[in-house]
Structure 1
Amino acid sequence: YPSFPIIPLWCNQTHQSELVGIREAIDSYDLIKSGFANDLDQASMIYWILQNTGGMDDLDLARFLDRL
């Protein structure tokens, strides 16, 4: 070869990426997936906080719930 061969590999007849036109779908999927992961993380944190309240008396539990 006299130079480095660069061969374009087009996905369609318009020579555009396959991602053209689906950016909104990709952004929506990313937002839903990251939001769901955050919700699960926060829900598990609340679960473990409430699991460790077994040694509280009623007054301490009422104060804890007010703070929560």
Structure 2
Amino acid sequence: MRILRRALRRWLGVPDAQDIQAIVHMEIDADEVWRAPKEGRTFADQRQSLSRSRRTAQAFGRREDTRA
């Protein structure tokens, strides 16, 4: 029964728990910008680091480009 359930979910495009978790993790870094900077780092440094991380994740397909 589990195989049939998975096949139907995949066919209908319903995300499973792992897919939902991946979606959430891809977008969760947006709120990181509003947190206080880490000790010894400025907001500009932190923004550049997050930008690099975002571009890398997009290049490897772990995050979609929502800024375009």
TM-score (normalizing by structure 1): 0.35
The higher radius of gyration belongs to 1
Which has the larger share of helix?
A: 2
TM-score (normalizing by structure 2): 0.35
